[in-house]
Amino acid sequence: MNKTIVPKAQLAAAMLIFGTIGLFSRGIPLPSGVIALVRGAVGAVFLLVVMLISRQKPDLAAIRRKWWQLLASGVCIGFNWILLFEAYRHTTIATATLCYYLAPIFVILAAPFVTGETLTLRRLLCVGAALLGMLGVSGVLEGSLPEADELTGILCGLGAAALYATAVLLNSRLTKLKATDKTTGQLGVAAIALLPYCLLTGGFAEFGKLDVTATVLLLVVGIVHTGVAYWLYFGALGKLKAQTAAIFSYIDPAAAILLSALVLKEPLTVWSGIGAVLILGAALISELPEKPKNK
């Protein structure tokens, strides 16, 4: 039996779960900050329980050495979720997802300044293709500008992508930290960082609007879309090649776009479809390893 079948199935399941979060968040009548806080807190508790059951001990020494990167990346992840949930509310799930998947392009542009990586011709072409795709998704290529609400959603999606790209760059400095320790710590930090934000904005006052259905949806986002999905994701990553993981990660936006059209009946124009192909194609190609040059 092929040893990669199980991790591939785990990764595919995690990506499908991530791809449905927009649908679930739409049914929760709470501010985005509160949804993000609950997601982080419930996800962190779930992973802690998994660690206790499997008798995994956190590497406290490694956590202390990398505490500030862990803190900064957790804050970025928390506020990235807020902007992503806001994007889902102001524009279609497809558009929000495509804006969010510009994160690899932001990493490419920032990497030469942060990590000293070379900006190759292939990556420059990927940046150009992604930007052209963004014009298609925004409606500019159809001769129209997005309305105010649509523009808000696009900007929130791009902001979420920028914060996620920042978290990715910070994570590149957390190489000696176990995946479970890193993820649990980041989810916990995200929840703690969002607590003062939610208190200052009065988000908790909206809890009175929760009915049974919304409460279940909120718990599903915390347990399934965060705890279970991250557990499956990191459980599979160590057993697969980076290239395989990169390809499987695009099940997430594909599922989100299809569900957006099939379940919510959200429109997807020809130019939006072309833009989706350009953005996702550019993001995927940018993540694949380049062939080493012959010396």
Tens of pLDDT, residue by residue over 132-176, are 888 888 776 666 667 889 899 999 999 999 999 999 888 877 777
The amino acid at 83: L
Residue 95's domain comprises 5-287
Tell me the whole-structure pTM to 2 decimals.
0.88
Query: pLDDT band at 61, cuts 50/70/90?
Result: confident
**Cβ contacts of residue 101 below 8 Å, gap of 6+?**
161, 253, 279, 280, 283
Would you say residue 293 lies in a domain?
A: no
Would you say residue 294 lies in a domain?
A: no
The 10s digit of each residue's pLDDT in 94-142 is 899 999 989 888 988 888 888 777 778 888 898 899 988 888 887 766 6
Q: Is the pLDDT of residue 226 over 90?
A: yes
Residues in the chain: 295
Q: Helices marked H in the chain — which ranges? A: 5-19, 21-26, 32-53, 60-65, 67-90, 93-100, 103-114, 121-138, 148-171, 179-201, 212-222, 229-237, 242-248, 251-262, 270-287
**The total number of structural domains that make up the chain:** 1
Would you say residue 295 lies in a domain?
A: no
Instruction: Decide: 191 and 40 in contact? Cβ < 8 Å.
Output: yes
Q: Is the pLDDT of residue 293 over 80?
A: no
Would you say residue 292 lies in a domain?
A: no
